[in-house]
Amino acid sequence: MKKEIDLIDSYKLLHPRPVVLICAKGKGEKVNVMSCSWITPVSDDPPVIAISLWKEGYTHTLIDETGEFTVNIPSSKLLEQVWVAGVKSGSKVDKIKLLKLNLVASDTVNVPRIEECLGTLECKVKNRIEIGEQILYIAEVKKALADKTYFKKDIWTDEAEVLLHCAGKTFSIPKLIKNKS
Amino acid sequence: MKKEIDLIDSYKLLHPRPVVLICAKGKGEKVNVMSCSWITPVSDDPPVIAISLWKEGYTHTLIDETGEFTVNIPSSKLLEQVWVAGVKSGSKVDKIKLLKLNLVASDTVNVPRIEECLGTLECKVKNRIEIGEQILYIAEVKKALADKTYFKKDIWTDEAEVLLHCAGKTFSIPKLIKNKS
């Protein structure tokens, strides 16, 4: 039996979905981190992704200064950090310090990556589209890294426990299913 | 230990991710279905999503005729249909008949929804951006429906077994994790 869902809640039908930690750095030294699950690949060649960020947030102001960000893929071990990175604003607190995350210099962008994450995409913005209260950033991936213990045959293993965001403080991890055919 | 990933494969770090069945219908009567996991919410108010489709595929030609499509959320019961919908082209075969899917008229668009799916978003295209070999459609959600047995407190339950695409013919389902704090 199907029920109608309020339009403002309709995006929830597209969850659970991967949640990532976006690092951004403006022209100053401060690095900010936020969690984001409104992200998708757009193209493989050229390698392009899209992320949607809230206009009232802090991260987009840093990205707008430099056109760069990193996408860092957390495991379930970082659940608490992912939660805090999503609810606290970098305009008020240094979330990198608060969350005790270790930063490592990236190779193609001036924004660092997060050492504790399973993998990273280094990204440069190609296009920026304002939609309602959000900004959709379309960005080219310049470098990609993955932990070889957990990324095998092009797939994160179940043991990677990549985090999927459901809603609020509820998260899932993926579990492989056997192909029935 | 991190290894570098070929850029053309870098999108795989953003999988596993929800896979949906996109229905489209041109000005004629034929309805086509394809599977897609390059989809993300963009905004909640207005309710906007984005999907990336291959330029060489068939679905985008139908969407370009009418500016409408439906996003249908399959469970693991439809794994085989999702696989076939992703590898066969609607330009050559009637996939709806082949996959024995039942269509139901939508309320706000002329494209039907798939009865066997857990939920549906009825969508109208707002914007269309060509990126490499892909087209990114930005669309407003006009109506949303979800199976009330499986969509509870704004979350698909584990029992819904919403399908996540890993790579090739490998799929996962989400498993809730307990909040540690």
Domains of chain B: 19-167 (2.30.110.10)
Q: What is the interface pTM, i.e. ipTM, of the complex?
A: 0.96
Average pLDDT over residues A126-150: 97
- Please name every residue paired with B123 in a beta bridge, in sequence order, or none if there are none: B69, B141
**Could you tell me which residues come within 8 angstroms of residue B126 by beta carbon, excluding any fewer than 6 positions away?**
A131, B48, B138, B139, B140
A86 touching B (Cβ < 8 Å): no
Supply φ then ψ for residue A69, to 5 degrees: -160, 165
CA quadruple B12, B16, B18, B23: dihedral sign:
positive
The pLDDT assigned to B179 comes to: 62
The pLDDT assigned to B141 comes to: 98
Contacts of B161 in chain A (CB under 8 A): 177
Return d(Cα A32, Cα A58) in angstroms, integer.
8
Q: pLDDT digits over A36-95, tens only?
A: 999 999 999 999 999 999 999 999 999 999 999 999 999 999 999 999 999 988 888 999
The pLDDT assigned to A91 comes to: 86
Share of chain A above pLDDT 70, in %: 98
pLDDT beyond 60 at B152: yes
The pLDDT assigned to A180 comes to: 53
What pLDDT band is residue B178 in, cutting at 50, 70 and 90?
confident
User: Does residue A125 contact residue A67 with C-beta atoms inside 8 Å?
Assistant: yes
Return d(Cα A21, Cα A71) in angstroms, integer.
6
The pLDDT assigned to B90 comes to: 86
Return d(Cα A95, Cα A92) in angstroms, integer.
9
B147 touching A (Cβ < 8 Å): yes
- Calculate how close chain B gets to A97, using CA atoms only, in Å: 19
DSSP calls for A91-116: TTS-HHHHTTPPEE--SSSSS-EETT
User: Does residue A71 contact residue A49 with C-beta atoms inside 8 Å?
Assistant: yes
**Could you tell me which residues come within 8 angstroms of residue A116 by beta carbon, excluding any fewer than 6 positions away?**
A74, A77, A78, A101, A102
The pLDDT assigned to B35 comes to: 97
Distance set, CA A136 to CA A131, B41, B108, B136 (Å) = 7, 10, 25, 11
Return d(Cα B115, Cα B102) in angstroms, integer.
5
CB count in 10 Å sphere of residue A100: 8
The pLDDT assigned to B143 comes to: 98
Q: Cβ-count burial of A11 within 10 angstroms (0-12 exposed, 13-18 middle, 19+ buried)?
A: buried
A102 touching B (Cβ < 8 Å): no
Return d(Cα A62, Cα A111) in angstroms, integer.
10
Say whether A12 and B131 touch across the interface (CB within 8 A): no
- Calculate how close chain B gets to A42, using CA atoms only, in Å: 5
The pLDDT assigned to A90 comes to: 86
- Please name every residue paired with A58 in a beta bridge, in sequence order, or none if there are none: none
B171 touching A (Cβ < 8 Å): yes
* Residue in B29, B22, B82 with CA at minimum distance from that of residue B58: B22
The pLDDT assigned to B121 comes to: 98
Contacts of B43 in chain A (CB under 8 A): 52, 131-134
- Calculate how close chain B gets to A68, using CA atoms only, in Å: 17
Letter string b/e over residues B122-141, b meaning 16 or more CB atoms within 10 A of that residue's CB: bbebeeebebbebbbbbbbb
Contacts of A153 in chain B (CB under 8 A): 167
DSSP calls for chain B: -EEE--GGGGGGGG-SEE-EEEEEE-SSS-EEEEEE--EEEEETTTTEEEEEEETTSSHHHHHHHHSEEEEEE-BGGGHHHHHHHHHS-TTTS-HHHHTTPPEE--SSSSS-EETTSSEEEEEEEEEEEEETTEEEEEEEEEEEEEETTTEETTEE-GGG-B-EEEETTEEEEEEEE----
Tell how far CA B139 is from the center of its chain.
13
- Calculate how close chain A gets to B144, using CA atoms only, in Å: 5
Mean pLDDT, chain B, integer: 95
Distance set, CA A157 to CA B2, B86, B165, B172 (Å) = 15, 23, 13, 10
* The amino acid at B181: S
DSSP calls for B133-150: TEEEEEEEEEEEEEETTT
pLDDT beyond 90 at B29: no
Question: For an interface test with B, which of A8, A39, A42 has the most B Cβ atoms less than 10 Å from its Cβ?
Answer: A42
Share of chain B above pLDDT 70, in %: 98
